[in-house]
Structure 1
């Protein structure tokens, strides 16, 4: 990238839980720096901006979800014919693996190769906490491929998103006043997806984050009983933690219309919490953002309308 060019950042999964917040955070930034010259304040274009390109399956239907200055590009990991136009001119990439894309070797790593081949120099990848310890995870397979790629990479190993509570479990909270997950008494270091998006934006636009890994968690690990108490206090009505068995949880989710593969993913996530393996708390987000990450109480207050009857 030359000094008079505006960096172009392609965001995959741009309508998703984290990707949408990456787009918003990038669109709100007014400068961008280059790792190659950390002493220079910026390599922004004349307007001080950065070109943000949202990769979406259907640009027409997604147009009203983004600010007017966000570019839209048709993109689908499983349709390589969409890759070229989405990557055209892009030199930075926010990469995430959609849960539905299970074949990393067929769809994700070839896309990484195509991105590097067409000029992407910096990749920020959304991974999960503990990926480095589990070679069987698809996230770790992507990480290892990025480690060997000819591009700078940053791994955001995120904890459980608070937004899953409104995107997946809203129905039980609104209609039954309960949090219905099989996590037992285990604690989880919930993180707000908005903070993950902001960490990604910093890593994509500021120097000093290349070839690093961040465990992006919230400020505290909470059990779901504690979560229920926070919901009760903020919403001013009693919310219970149901603590169902795994079979009870699986059957209810299936009756709600989730397919078995997605139910299996959720069971795996909550089993991790049940076993006490989801409570890792770090200060990585605070160090990158220069502030403390959002608390669960802040999240529930901000999303309170979604939990009203």
Structure 2
């Protein structure tokens, strides 16, 4: 039976990938740093294995008899050669046949992005791969930005008046599962976006409409950095977020592609649908 190892298993996309794979004819295993705490998030019915990208001692057990790997880069790991490459080397040695990597929209055009470096390293290794180059996740609005919206009625991020082609992680996960269990996706790269590109002013208006309370957009870079620092987030992580929002401000995040709709045979979820489904996070 096909065995699939899922990294980033307790994250937004990873959890949804695990949920969808439960109904497929495969053996799925979650690679997690702490199996005990992961069970509290994932439930006791999910098979787990200890795994840490920076701990080579865990590699042999984690990749044992694994056919396919769903790869998610931990946000705090930016040195690909030292922190990611050893695990990919181990995956190849263990006989992993196919990697589905959660990349980022435009990675092929920016060689300095960690995602771009991972794509190139996978290609150098010669493992068959599928790159899912996803746009900005809607679910960041109910994780990183929850408190700002809920408590202050403020969408605080430095994206200017640029548009973003938001995508729901439920759609990303559905695409990931198809590429994992179906043939024909090896050697492909898919640019995953929603079907609409919106400014954050427009997103704030949709929040206001759905939640029934005023939500306004604040594009201040200085206030954003101060707010993120007050949450004790690592400065490296904050700088990556600033870079992502800057790409939106410069008009580079509004690209809309047909890939998501073609792969799922339906229209991508809209941001209004997302806010309606997740409204309890901000009330």
Q: For the superposition of Structure 1 and Structure 2, which TM-score range results when normalised by the shorter chain?
A: over 0.9
Matched, 1:10 2:5: yes
Alignment match of 2:16 (pick from 21, 37, 42): 21
Q: 1:16, CA displacement in angstroms? A: 1.1
Is 1:306 matched up with 2:281? yes
Give the aligned partner of residue 180 of structure 2.
204
Matches of residues 1-309 of structure 1 in structure 2 within 5 Å?
6-29=1-24, 49-66=25-42, 68-244=44-220, 246-308=221-283
What residue ranges of structure 1 are gaps of 5+ in the alignment?
Answer: 1-5, 30-48
Deviation at 1:67, TM superposition (A): 5.0
Aligned Cα root-mean-square deviation (Å): 1.2
Q: Give TM-score scaled by structure 1 length.
A: 0.89
Q: C-alpha deviations, 1:113-153, integer Å up to 9, x for none?
A: 21111111011001111111111111111111111223210
Q: Secondary structure at the match of 2:266?
A: coil
Secondary structure class of the residue paired with 1:93: strand
Contact 1:51 1:70 in 2 (8 A): no
How many residues of Structure 1 are paired with residues of Structure 2 in the alignment? Answer: 283
**1:10-69 deviations in Å (ceiling 9; x for gaps):** 00110112111111121133xxxxxxxxxxxxxxxxxxx211100010001111333554
CA distance in 2, matches of 1:279, 1:211: 25
**CA deviations over 1:188-216 (Å, ceiling 9, x no partner):** 01111111111111000011111000001
Length-normalised TM-score, structure 2: 0.97
CA distance in structure 1 between the partners assigned to 2:155 and 2:26 by the alignment: 41
CA contact (8 A) 2:142 2:281 kept: yes
SS of residue in 2 equivalent to 1:234 = helix
- In structure 2, how many angstroms separate the alpha carbons of the residues matched to 1:65 and 1:87? 22
